[in-house]
Amino acid sequence: MTQLATIGTGIGAGGGITRRETDQRAEMAQAAKAFEAIFVRQLVGTMRQSSLGDELTGSSAVDQFRELADARMADNLADKGGLGIAELILSQLEKTP
């Protein structure tokens, strides 16, 4: 079980969790991970654009491959909790009534 799945579950605190609450929490966790993935994609894309000179391999095929590789890396980072943004979002969402 990941850290993201154990935040604020109420297990061990005597609180009973309903199926609806568990499903709602899973949806919030998925949305938080998706947000983190989008954020990381934007971050990496911006870093790639800020080059200091002309690229030797400046073709559209290479650019397309890099975008796909960056998107895949961002998805993997978010899925594994790479930057911890999803955990922070989820903990804030659980604090609201």
Instruction: State the pLDDT at residue 13.
Output: 46
Instruction: State the pLDDT at residue 1.
Output: 40
Instruction: State the pLDDT at residue 63.
Output: 80
The count of domains in the chain is: 1
What pTM did the predictor assign? 0.65
Could you list the residue range(s) of the whole structural domain that residue 52 is in? 3-95
Instruction: State the pLDDT at residue 53.
Output: 58
Nearest residue to 74 via CA among 44, 46, 37, 20: 37
- 55 token code pair: 């690229």
Mean pLDDT by 10 residues, the chain (97 residues): 48 65 89 90 83 65 84 86 85 79
Nearest residue to 79 via CA among 67, 70, 87, 68: 87
Question: Which amino acid is residue 11, in one-letter code?
Answer: I
